Structure 1
Amino acid sequence: MHQHTACPQPPDADENGIVHIPFADEQDTTKEISPIEARLRERHRVVHALLDQGHGIREIARELHLGGNTVRRTARAETPEQLLTGRHQPRPTQLDPYKPYADKQREEGCTNAVRLHAELKELGYQATYRILSHYLRPRRRPRIRTVARNHRASDRSPPG
């Protein structure tokens, strides 16, 4: 055990190596953060704390069970916000400028998506029907499906 006293441990780790992570500093409490954002912020804090203690990228990656590129990217980011860009952020779509019009038409009773797509095309919309359909799907009223009874010839009474 004496040999391992120089091994890097994440900040606030006790003698058994259990990490006690305090809550991040109180920031904007009106905004609720996602689990991904919380994880990225905490990773940034831990990696930078270990870098400040003089540990190398490989050492940190091995100790935190992270990939070297993940630690390197985290180390290069000066703030956690620089890590929060990318695929988890909503991206603009071709439909965005037409969403208010599509929503207004749906509220006014236009339930025919094909007709709505044709109207949007006249306004300059160039994307596919499928994109519009995917946008409208969660906004549609649920249909009540009825199951027709299967009438077999033996169930019917004989004529006359």
Structure 2
Amino acid sequence: MPALTLSSSERTVLRSQVHALKPTVLIGSSGLTDAVINEINIQLKAQELIIIRVLSGNPLAFCNKICDRLSAASIQHIGKLLAIWKPQCADNTLSTTSRNTTRIYAAPRVVKIVKLSSATRRPKPYWIKVLSNERLTSDGNVKKAKRRQISLKRQYQFKK
């Protein structure tokens, strides 16, 4: 499977999202094994955009092999860190919003929650549908995301 190609504007948007991420996969001294490729594929399915840390070997060669085998796109390569993106949607594009910024939206997901009912009863599992604009708290409640605050200076610009 060939690697994906991205335009420079798409790559720039994804690079800005990479800054907040931490490495999720480490490639050690044994190199790029099938188990490592499988773990990278699992992480890409879960997150779309991941960072990989290479401890030994040639990071650029590993990046090319990963992108070819998983049909993913290389976003950034700095030293021993690789940023790789693989879209979950079928059309391999980023979705755009009305303000000319590009964002990736997560689909609704079903989450299993186990709550303790009392000390003598068994915990009762149940499933909840969590939308992309919602988050799950540690006690099992669903909260909607708050609107992002805009500075007074920007509010004044948008009113004109």
Q: Which has more strand, going by share of residues? A: 2
Q: Which has more helix, going by share of residues? A: 1
TM-score by length of 2: 0.22
